[in-house]
Amino acid sequence: MHDFRYKGKYLYCEKVKLEDLAGRFGTPLYVYSYRTLIDHYLKLEKAFRPVKALICYSVKANSNLAILKALIAHGAGLDIVSGGELFRALKAGCPAEKIVYASVGKTDGEIEEAIRRGILFFNVESLPELANINRIAAKLNKITRVAIRINPDVEAKTHKFITTGKITNKFGIDLKNAYKILCMRNNFRHIRICGLHIHIGSQITESSPFVSAIKKVAVFILELKRKGIYLEYLNIGGGLGIVYDRETPQTAQRYASKIMPLLKKTGLKIILEPGRFIVGNAGILLTKVLYIKSTPKKKFVIVDAGMNDLIRPALYGAHHNILPLIKVPGAEKTDVVGPICESGDFLAKERRIPKVKEGMYLAVMSAGAYGFSMSSNYNSRRRAEEVMVKRNKVFVIRTRETYADLVRNEAK
Amino acid sequence: MHDFRYKGKYLYCEKVKLEDLAGRFGTPLYVYSYRTLIDHYLKLEKAFRPVKALICYSVKANSNLAILKALIAHGAGLDIVSGGELFRALKAGCPAEKIVYASVGKTDGEIEEAIRRGILFFNVESLPELANINRIAAKLNKITRVAIRINPDVEAKTHKFITTGKITNKFGIDLKNAYKILCMRNNFRHIRICGLHIHIGSQITESSPFVSAIKKVAVFILELKRKGIYLEYLNIGGGLGIVYDRETPQTAQRYASKIMPLLKKTGLKIILEPGRFIVGNAGILLTKVLYIKSTPKKKFVIVDAGMNDLIRPALYGAHHNILPLIKVPGAEKTDVVGPICESGDFLAKERRIPKVKEGMYLAVMSAGAYGFSMSSNYNSRRRAEEVMVKRNKVFVIRTRETYADLVRNEAK
């Protein structure tokens, strides 16, 4: 599954002892395994090779330039959601024709820049947005490509915050209205509607929601064909779940086997937008135990990583396994909490973990996706350093912020 | 209550039309009223003048240097929770002897720096932390002051994430163990225990939890006196609730009248640590309507501020009023949502707001506290600009980030 394993009593990332990294770079520290990252990308790429799918990595999961560069070097395209992500994608060297752009709230400036750069297409989320893209393309005297994001109204069976394919969500367009838009496509003279897009949510561990959604869209595509509306792309989004705890998510191969027949039937070029699947288990967060605090009711392991570094437990009630970098015997029920002044600042609650002591280091597992990318400076804390391990080599891919960084843009 | 008011059909901050600010600086934009900020500080300062309380503003609520400077100029001290906040406090010109430092997870480096700078005292959260501060003070050959943070085990009647005075929370020390620590105070030769601290939570709108907590501590202080343990300070923390929606929180005067008799009885110097009470209603977040999206089930107002700019609705289910900068007739039930690719990215759900159109600006009210300070670069979005209004003048107190800022610390 991933390259974070004990060898003897020490936890390693590939060939590097994590205890050494924590000592050398300090904590909190994000550590990524190059091999795990690429391995997960290739698993999907291979599974979908029969339809020559373009895998557009979802930048929002982890937008570090080094992560993007590594994936681009292996042939990945990118799925972006903002002007900032377009900037990152281009800076990392992604060819514009491998970039797809989704978001319910694209601004004029962002749309203009993406058209100028010649991205593959926009995933369009509403009729007013379509009209706006057409207006801006007209101003630039260009014709730009779009895919209509369909809201297939399926239940993704995941956290309500990351369900995006229900009709009550802000995302996409229902089939009926999508059809209306396709029929009036000639009104938008600076747009070519070249495809459909779906993305029903995130951290989905079973294939049935995907199958339901793709079936609906596949039927729709055939209907359109019969009516003389021909498309080129089907973008099936991302959302593949990973193992955080005891999940048993579908493999890339199994996912592909379930949906490939449907995809082939459409005859369209296929695009995928995985984020978490590729980077989730390729990263961990190292933290140091500052204090062991015993109270009459509870035992707290207080660590130096907080909700500003990893907000998933507080925001989604997410589970992350916690392992000591050096194996210790025993186990005890504890709350693992950060230094932030809120009770919401925890990494684990009422969790049995090994009997650690002050000064020891812990690894918060599966923190590669939506870890650093959601981190903040709350409590005026500097954001963590990020390093990438490649066999026995270590590369700093983002240095720790300084105090001066915190006030850089403020009036002195 | 605050200086954001309609004059005719336009919403103003003091003497400045907000529509003009949104146009001039772009959105999302945080706008603060200097007068409201200082007014709230002075309300507390006046209410507690009879005991000459030191008001230590809680930096984590909003740590912008301009906010800190304005309060320091009016006599405020600062309540800090990290080395980054110590850096900010000193940079803003706060005298070290007006700084108190709380956090369950102070690192060695942070403790050392605070001792060197000669802060007023640490609020100590556990016995291991006390021992650690003593060890570091010994190394520096100094004697440093601490207050013991008491966990009074009272129900603060607020969101579970911001309740901090229950015995199951990670904060403070129960009375029995606090007494034990006070009895062994001579073992810590580099520490002088000079006071007690309590802080039971945040956004507490009624006085009864405060009264319960302070009563418990006041009784404890008198017991200690009888046993020959004399203290100098009682730090009663913060947590005063404000109006977000229909709350009717206690005023500063009413709060003071309820607890002043208890405080006077202790004979100790009083410290307060308000954050939200001072800055919460002194700031708003301006945002632009990008698209109006009608779906079969819902109407969405899509704006250019997201959960990365203001995470309180997603994280705490918090309510913020939403007002148009130019009054418009009608009202309709809508979801006001941001551009971020999560269903958790909303500012209001199923809320009746005026019938706004694309291109109009909205004010998200009461966003001065835990707004910008919790903001992030999620979705590679640049953090908002911040401006301070003082009568008819406008000061940029933090410029909008650039795309280059996003990757500043990353390997190129």
Q: Do A81 and B341 touch (CB under 8 A)?
A: yes
Q: Do B409 and A409 touch (CB under 8 A)?
A: no
Q: What is the pLDDT of residue A167?
A: 85
Does the pTM surpass 0.90? The reply is yes
Phi then psi for A83, rounded to 5 degrees?
Answer: -65, -35
Chain B: give the shortest CA distance to residue A334, in Å. 11
Residue of B nearest to A63 (CA): B380
Cβ contacts of B378 on chain A, cutoff 8 Å = 60, 373-374
CB A284 within 8 A of CB A30: yes
Q: What is the pLDDT of residue A386?
A: 98
Q: What is the pLDDT of residue B140?
A: 98
Nearest by CB to A65, which of B168, B342, B411?
B411
Nearest by CB to B380, which of A88, A342, A381?
A88
Low-confidence ranges of chain A (pLDDT < 70): none
Q: What's the Rg (C-alpha) of chain A?
A: 23
Interface of B with A in 170-189 (CB under 8 A): 170-171, 173-174, 176-177
Alpha helices (H) along A161-269: 175-183, 208-226, 252-266
Q: Which of A197, A58, A252 is nearest to B380 (CA)?
A: A58
> A409: Cβ–Cβ under 8 A, 6 or more apart, which residues?
B398, B399, B400, B401, B405
Residue of A nearest to B293 (CA): A126
- What is residue B200's DSSP assignment? -
Interface of B with A in 53-72 (CB under 8 A): 59-60, 63-66
Q: What is the pLDDT of residue B161?
A: 83
Interface of A with B in 13-32 (CB under 8 A): none
Triad B1, B7, B11: Cα angle to 5°: 70
Catalytic residue among B13, B94, B194, B341: B341
Q: Which CATH number fits domain B34-277: 3.20.20.10, 3.40.50.300, 3.40.50.1580, 3.50.50.60?
A: 3.20.20.10
A and B: number of Cβ contacts within 8 A: 270
Bridge pairing between strands A77-80 and A99-102: parallel
B296 touches chain A (CB under 8 A): yes
A93 touches chain B (CB under 8 A): no
Measured in whole angstroms, the distance separating CA B310 from the mean position of its chain's CA atoms is 14
Q: Do B343 and A161 touch (CB under 8 A)?
A: yes
Chain B: give the shortest CA distance to residue A8, in Å. 30
Cβ contacts of B307 on chain A, cutoff 8 Å = none
- Give the best residue of A113, A122, A410 to mutate against chain B (max B CB count within 10 A): A410
Are B4-32+280-406 and B34-277 in the same CATH fold? Answer: no
Q: Do B412 and A65 touch (CB under 8 A)?
A: yes
Domain A4-32+280-406, classified CATH 3.20.20.60, yes or no = no
Q: Which of A355, A271, A218 is nearest to A98 (CA)?
A: A271
Number of separate helices (H) and strands (E) present in chain B: 12, 20
Chain A: give the shortest CA distance to residue B57, in Å. 14
Q: Do B82 and A170 touch (CB under 8 A)?
A: no
- Give the best residue of B127, B149, B341 to mutate against chain A (max A CB count within 10 A): B341
Mean pLDDT across B136-148: 98
Q: Which of A289, A309, A290 is nearest to A381 (CA)?
A: A309
Q: Which of B155, B103, B110 is nearest to B126 (CA)?
A: B103
A359 touches chain B (CB under 8 A): no
pLDDT band at B402 (very low <50, low <70, confident <90, very high): very high
**Summary mean pLDDT of chain B:** 96
State the Cα–Cα distance between residues A273 and B274, nearest whole angstrom.
45
Report chain B's terminal Cα–Cα distance, integer Å.
49
Q: What is the pLDDT of residue A410?
A: 98
Is B183 assigned a catalytic role?
Answer: no
Cβ contacts of A151 on chain B, cutoff 8 Å = 295
State the Cα–Cα distance between residues B282 and B1, nearest whole angstrom.
9
Structural element, H or E, at residue B337: strand B332-337
Q: Do A380 and B91 touch (CB under 8 A)?
A: no
Q: Do B380 and A60 touch (CB under 8 A)?
A: yes
Asked if residue B1 has pLDDT above 80, the reply is: no
pLDDT band at B160 (very low <50, low <70, confident <90, very high): confident
CB A61 within 8 A of CB A369: yes
Q: Do A380 and B132 touch (CB under 8 A)?
A: no
Chain A: give the shortest CA distance to residue B300, in Å. 7
Triad A406, A412, B5: Cα angle to 5°: 90
State the Cα–Cα distance between residues B62 and B65, nearest whole angstrom.
9
B291 touches chain A (CB under 8 A): yes
Nearest by CB to B107, which of A107, A290, A375?
A290
Token pair 């003279």: residue? A189
Q: Do B151 and A91 touch (CB under 8 A)?
A: no
| Domain ranges within chain B, ordered by starting residue | 4-32+280-406, 34-277
Mean pLDDT across B249-270: 95
Nearest by CB to B379, which of A60, A128, A164?
A60
Catalytic residue among A13, A56, A183, A341: A341
Percent of chain B exceeding pLDDT 90 equals 95
Query: Which of B344-356 are b and which e, b meaning 16 or more Cβ less than 10 Å from the residue's Cβ?
Result: bbbbbeebebbeb
CB A35 within 8 A of CB A53: no
Cβ contacts of B346 on chain A, cutoff 8 Å = 170
Chain B: give the shortest CA distance to residue A91, in Å. 9
Q: How deeply is A357 buried, as exposed, middle or buried, from its count of CB atoms within 10 A (0-12, 13-18, 19+)?
A: exposed
Q: Is the peptide bond before B28 cis (omega within 30 degrees of 0)?
A: yes
B358 touches chain A (CB under 8 A): yes
State the Cα–Cα distance between residues B39 and A113, nearest whole angstrom.
44
Q: What is the pLDDT of residue B162?
A: 80
Asked if residue B305 has pLDDT above 90, the reply is: yes
Query: Which of A171-185 are b and which e, b meaning 16 or more Cβ less than 10 Å from the residue's Cβ?
Result: bbbbbebbbebbeee
State the Cα–Cα distance between residues B206 and B258, nearest whole angstrom.
11
State the Cα–Cα distance between residues B387 and A193, nearest whole angstrom.
42
